[in-house]
Amino acid sequence: MICPPGEPGPGELLVREEVEPGPYGYTPRERPIDVYLQYGAINLDKPSGPTSHEVTKWVRALLGFPGRVGHCGTLVA
Amino acid sequence: MGVLYLHGDVSDEELEDAIGKFRGPIYQRPPVKAAVARELRVRRVCEFEILEREGRFVLVRTVVEAGTYIRRLFYDIGEVLGVGASMRELRRIRSGPLHERDSVTLQDIERAVASWADGDEGPLRRVIVPVEEVLSHVPRIVVKDSAVSAIAHGDAVKAPGVVAVSEGLRKGKDALAVTLKGEIIAVVRPTMDAEHILEAKRGVVAEPERVIMERDLYPPMWKKGKSL
């Protein structure tokens, strides 16, 4: 069930033209690791206590690369 | 999923009745400490069920529209029951396509990074997923390789570059411009609905909102106006 009901999901892809991809870019799962990390997301089970901001800082430090790390999906009761 | 605490004694039937009143569209005014304007608004409660009950403590599971305040929902149930109620615990178990069962811990990340340092990037690829996968619920516009660079440089999506469109794509609602390989190029705002984009021969079909892709991943081709 798509929830909330009535909320339009992406639905089927309506194809106008069949086109083959060229030799550029990468299928997301096949990106070389350095590129993969640039376009990555983590579904993190945040412990209660530390703030999202603190956890973001830890993840950035853990990954140890100068990439940008942010967060979204704030749980406001 | 959350723990609702009843401030007085009520029967299972009374509780079930009260909860039933809050399924479907409900009115909510955001609390005093809120990040949004405090005006009365409608939010949909799609699913609301009791998982377990032990006296005044009730474990419930809800599926609600974004922007629904669970603390307020529980408080209002207490008002309907006449005994008062409050929220003791709350845990988000799903958000869009992200499920708790697929979540990872900080320790998982730490171990994956250690494996990576030892030459095995497999665990890191499981802990981190492509951003496209967490946006699978957002409608898409697939464009030709020849249109990618212009969009990655901030150009609008134009009709001739469009290969396919999600049927759920609506004018004014966020969508993703993606490549034939499924890579996200930019978040865009369609200027027409899916059906109309398919029929359009020329002109802008979506305005750029936020470019995600690195500019030079695809070669620029717009100068020559040549199609692949």
pLDDT tens, position by position, B21-62: 999 999 998 877 777 788 888 999 999 999 999 999 999 999
Give the residue among B191, B199, B128 at the shortest CA–CA distance from B162: B199
pLDDT tens, position by position, A6-29: 455 788 899 988 899 999 999 999
**Nearest neighbour of B180 by CB, restricted to A6, A10, A19:** A19
Distance (Å, rounded) from C-alpha B124 to C-alpha B108? 9
Mutate to test the interface with A, among B23, B38, B46, B214 (most CBs of A within 10 A): B46
pLDDT tens, position by position, B64-102: 998 899 999 999 999 999 999 999 999 999 988 889 999
CA distance B170 to chain A (A): 9
Residues of chain B with CATH 2.30.130.10: 135-211
For A51, B155, B174, B225, the CA distances from B152, given in Å and listed in that order, are: 33, 7, 17, 16
What is the rounded average pLDDT for all residues in chain B?
93
**Nearest neighbour of A43 by CB, restricted to B71, B103, B116:** B103
The owner of tokens 């399924």 is B23
Please list every residue in chain A whose beta carbon sits closer than 8 Å to the beta carbon of residue B116.
33
For A54, nearest residue in chain B (alpha carbons): B106
Mutate to test the interface with A, among B100, B178, B180 (most CBs of A within 10 A): B180
Residues of chain B with CATH 3.30.70.3190: 2-91
Instruction: Give me the residue spans of the domains in chain A.
Output: 28-63
CA distance A20 to chain B (A): 7
**Nearest neighbour of A44 by CB, restricted to B65, B104, B131:** B104
Please list every residue in chain B whose beta carbon sits closer than 8 Å to the beta carbon of residue A6.
44
pLDDT over 80 at B164, yes or no: yes
As a whole number, mean pLDDT of residues B134-150 equals 95
pLDDT over 90 at A76, yes or no: no
Q: Which residue has the higher pLDDT, B121 or B226?
A: B121
CA distance A76 to chain B (A): 7
pLDDT tens, position by position, A23-49: 999 999 999 999 999 999 999 998 888
pLDDT over 90 at B119, yes or no: yes
Distance (Å, rounded) from C-alpha A66 to C-alpha A71? 16
Distance (Å, rounded) from C-alpha B62 to C-alpha B68? 10
Give the residue among B17, B9, B6, B13 at the shortest CA–CA distance from B87: B6
Element at B177 (helix H, strand E): strand B175-178
Single-letter residue type at B10: V
- For residues B62 and B45, the answer to whether their CB atoms sit within 8 Å is yes
Rounded to 10 degrees, the C-alpha dihedral B6/B7/B11/B14 comes to: -70
Please list every residue in chain B whose beta carbon sits closer than 8 Å to the beta carbon of residue A60.
none
Distance (Å, rounded) from C-alpha B22 to C-alpha B74? 10
As a whole number, mean pLDDT of residues B124-130 equals 96
Per-residue pLDDT band for A5 (boundaries 50, 70, 90) equals: very low
Region of poorest pLDDT, from B7-16, B39-48, B146-155, B209-218: B39-48
* Confidence at residue A48, expressed as pLDDT on a 0 to 100 scale: 86
Query: What dotted CATH number matches B2-91?
Result: 3.30.70.3190
> Backbone phi, then psi, for B149, in 5-degree steps?
-60, -45
Q: Which residue has the higher pLDDT, A77 or B127?
A: B127
* Confidence at residue A66, expressed as pLDDT on a 0 to 100 scale: 63
Q: What is the pTM of this model?
A: 0.82
What is the CA B150 to chain-centroid distance, rounded?
27
Query: What dotted CATH number matches B135-211?
Result: 2.30.130.10
Single-letter residue type at B226: K
Cβ pair B46:A59 closer than 8 A: no
Per-residue pLDDT band for B154 (boundaries 50, 70, 90) equals: very high
